[in-house]
Amino acid sequence: MVETTPGFLSASGAFAIVNRSCETGPGSPLPPTFRRMETDGRAWLADYRRRLDDLRGRAERVQAEISALSATATSPDGAVRATVGHTGALRDLAFGAAADLLPRERLAALVVATTADAAAEVARRAEQALGPLLDR
């Protein structure tokens, strides 16, 4: 008899129940049902590992693609050209001939707006790059 706390089955009790249900006795090969469960478990684990490896590979490719991103935007009048990297940080700033004709306040506003346009483009490309990782 298996002793347990009332309402609970001990591990040895569960083993005894499984052992009795096998009909073949201890030390005998597993019955077909248990062999199938063992095989199914191994197949599931192998598939799970394969999916993890696939996901890791996709994540590494996406990370490399996003790290290499940059975008350049130009103001409508050509006065400002701004290039940002994958973080949205300004990498390059150039002024066209039209910049010479603008007051400083307007030029500063164009720098901010043009840099924001370039950063928005980088963000759009990063989201697009994430698509394969997210199965979109």
CA 32 to CA 118: how far, in whole Å?
63
Domains of the chain, by residue range, sit at 11-65, 69-130
How far apart, in Å, are the Cα atoms of 107 and each of 45, 83, 119? 60, 16, 18
| Residue-level pLDDT, tens digit, the chain, 136 residues | 444 555 554 555 544 554 455 444 555 565 666 566 667 888 889 899 999 999 899 899 999 999 999 999 999 999 999 999 999 999 999 999 999 999 999 999 999 999 999 999 999 999 999 987 776 4
Q: Using a CB cutoff of 8 Å and minimum separation of 24, what contacts does 7-11 make?
A: none
Burial 30-46 (b: 16+ CB within 10 A, else e): eeeeeeeeeeeeeeeee
Q: Which amino acid is at 100?
A: D
This model's pTM is above 0.85:
no
Structure tokens at 114: 């043009």
| Architecture of the domain made up of 69-130 | 2-Layer Sandwich (3.30)
Q: Which amino acid is at 105?
A: E
